[in-house]
A and B are shown apart, each in its own frame.
Chain A
Amino acid sequence: GNSVTQMEGPVTLSEEAFLTINCTYTATGYPSLFWYVQYPGEGLQLLLKATKADDKGSNKGFEATYRKETTSFHLEKGSVQVSDSAVYFCALTTSDGKYIFGTGTRLKVLA
């Protein structure tokens, strides 16, 4: 079946550090892949997406590349800020358009 696996959190970094949050998936067919961010007490905001292999999604300094050969969609940012502290969800869409979410990774950035 379809599934998404994210690295366990929390991830704690100092400001300006490099961020990687790992996401791997299992899917039949060719899913689209997404990263969402959830700030405390808020809904999910779309951060970036990629719809086919080798696509790179990017937004607000975050990037992720759809790697079909390794079934991965790792989230990266070169220099994190305190304001990036949030929970990050990786997700894929199935052929019927429904989302399969990962369990979420909490990021804490310290000043």
Chain B
Amino acid sequence: DAMVIQNPRYQVTQFGKPVTLSCSQTLNHNVMYWYQQKSSQAPKLLFHYYDKDFNNEADTPDNFQSRRPNTSFCFLDIRSPGLGDAAMYLCATSSQTGVVRATQYFGPGTRLLVL
């Protein structure tokens, strides 16, 4: 089945220690998104890629970076995690962008714990 895969499902890191979360997809979608979701809140968009074109949200902290080496993979790098970065991180994909009908398909998420 075509899907969005996130690894690991749970990640524990130390305060200030860089961490990388990964996302892969077999849907062959052009667009990949990273969201941060804190407890009992809606997902918050951090950035997205349209092919290799990176689009950062205005309020995304510089501490968050992303890489997309090819169509299938996208990484979220947190350079110096703080306690406030503990959250669920969701990856999503879409075959379209800039289109009102674009449907996003989400992975299972990675829950990040910062000690």
Chain A 92-111 interface 0/1 with B at a Cβ cutoff of 8 Å (1 = within) = 01111111011110000000
Does A43 sit within 8 A of B, measured CB to CB?
A: yes
Interface check A20, CB cutoff 8 A: no
The closest CB in chain B to the CB of A44 belongs to B106
**CA A45 – CA B102 in complex, angstroms?**
15
Picked from A43, A94, A95, A97, the residue with its CB within 8 Å of the CB of B106 is: A43
CB atoms of B109 and A42 under 8 A apart: yes
Q: Name the B residues within 8 Å of A97 (CB-CB).
A: 31, 94, 96-100, 102
A73 at the interface (CB under 8 A from B): no
- The reply to whether B100 and A46 contact each other, CB–CB distance below 8 Å, is no
Complex contact A96–B42 (CB within 8 A): no
Contact for B108 among A42, A95, A98, A102, CB less than 8 A: A42
Give the shortest distance, in Å, between B63 (CB) and chain A (any CB): 22
* Contact indicator A32/B101 (Cβ below 8 Å): yes
> How far is B102's CA from A97's CA once the two chains are assembled, in angstroms?
6
Cross-chain contact A46 with B103 (CB below 8 angstroms): yes
Tell whether, in the assembled complex, residue B106 and residue A45 are in contact, meaning their CB atoms are under 8 Å apart. Answer: yes
Q: Which residues of B contact A99 (CB under 8 A)?
A: 43, 45, 104
Residues of B within 8 A of A (CB): 4, 6, 31, 40-43, 45, 48, 90, 92, 94, 96-109, 111
Apart from A43-B90, A98-B45, what are 9 other A-B pairs with CB-CB below 8 Å? A32-B102, A41-B109, A42-B109, A43-B6, A51-B100, A89-B43, A97-B97, A97-B98, A101-B42
9 A-B pairs (CB sep. < 8 Å): A30-B100, A34-B103, A43-B107, A43-B108, A93-B100, A95-B98, A95-B100, A97-B99, A97-B100
